[in-house]
Structure 1
């Protein structure tokens, strides 16, 4: 089964570990999920920031 990665440097989806780990986000199960990596990361960060603020 293939894994897909989002390259944070080129903003391209890659199949397999093509680029160095520092430049990859993932893995994602599908190419479509990887293409939405930036939105997923931003949403996760916003949720975690809100949880952290609620704990203060």
Structure 2
């Protein structure tokens, strides 16, 4: 089917069109075959972005005056 999405299998490194294999062996869906091939790079970039956001969220600035020792 031409409108099916692409998936990446991290165990085998294969890209498939449509949901082949079990859900725990699939990354996706992706709109293009190339996006599916880049699944690990995309996931790494998203993880780095999320970690940076978490660090920014954890930075509350200077502690309150009564918390300083």
Q: Same fold (TM over 0.5)?
A: yes
Q: TM-score of the superposition, structure 1-length normalised? A: 0.94
Structure 1 ranges of 4+ moved more than 3 A: none
More RCO (CA 8 Å, sep 6+): 1
Determine which structure has more spread, i.e. the larger CA radius of gyration.
Answer: 2
TM-score, with normalisation over the residues of structure 2?
0.78
Q: How many pairs does the alignment contain?
A: 56
RMSD over equivalenced CA pairs, Å = 0.6
Query: Mind listing any 5+ residue stretches in structure 1 that lack a counterpart?
Result: none
Q: Which runs of 5+ in 2 are unaligned?
A: 59-69
